[in-house]
Amino acid sequence: MKIVKVNEHNVYEGAVFKVNKKTFEREDGSTFSREIVESSEVVHVLPFDKNYNIYAISEFRGTVEDYILGFPAGKIDSGETPEDAVKREVEEEIGMNVVDLIPVHKNLITTMGICNEVGHYFLALVEEFKDGERKHFQEPDENIEIKKMNMNEFVDKLMVLLENGKPFGLKCAFLWMMFVTMMNAKKL
């Protein structure tokens, strides 16, 4: 069945996203509408060091009014490639230098029923900056704690979250699954 967009108008526009109401028409002439959150492209990255320590973050998220375990992520700024954005976000959020980037998936849409956000997912081998090399720092409105953990500690932390019914990000779970899969396949 063919469906065609017949109307679109803005409902809300803020600093981070906007909401558009779109009306669609089916072949039989009937219509339906959807409110869609329009977002910029974003990056998500699981940083690890040469000893396979994981650099997770605990960040306050107003949506759940709590700290959430995750990995560095953020919007792709104008003129940036996804790779440039990953390097900047890792530097800002955990203060590390990206040595090697391993693409996991580009153009992944995680909430397509309500939002058009496109995510680019990476694993990143990181190391500490040499003195004076760091250029980017955590933004003032971010409330991030860095959590350096070995793989067993990370699994233990995940299990506690799951057992206690605590909020946990699907994007973090996806990156962890890909990290373990690539480790087992000896691709890291």
pLDDT in tens, 114-164: 999 999 999 999 999 888 787 778 778 888 999 999 999 999 999 999 999
Average confidence (pLDDT) over 65-92: 95
Which residues face 96 on adjacent strands?
Answer: 128
Average confidence (pLDDT) over 13-29: 94
- CA 170/CA 149 separation, integer angstroms: 19
**Which residues 6+ apart lie within 8 Å of 155 measured at CB?**
none
Report whether 56 contacts 71 (CB < 8 A).
Answer: yes
pLDDT at position 170 is 86
pLDDT at position 146 is 93
pLDDT at position 163 is 94
0.85 cut: is pTM over it? yes
The predicted-structure confidence for 85-112, as pLDDT tens digits, reads as follows 999 999 999 999 999 999 999 988 888 8
- CA 11/CA 13 separation, integer angstroms: 7
- CA 20/CA 10 separation, integer angstroms: 4
Q: Which residue has the higher pLDDT, 29 or 63?
A: 29
CA distances from 182 to 15, 31, 115 (A): 37, 45, 29
- CA 25/CA 173 separation, integer angstroms: 37
Residue 162, Cβ density class (10 Å: 0-12 exposed, 13-18 middle, ≥19 buried): exposed
pLDDT at position 141 is 81
pLDDT at position 138 is 77
Domains in the chain (CATH in brackets) are 3-38 (no CATH), 42-184 (3.90.79.10)
Q: Which two tokens stand for residue 122?
A: 């990476």
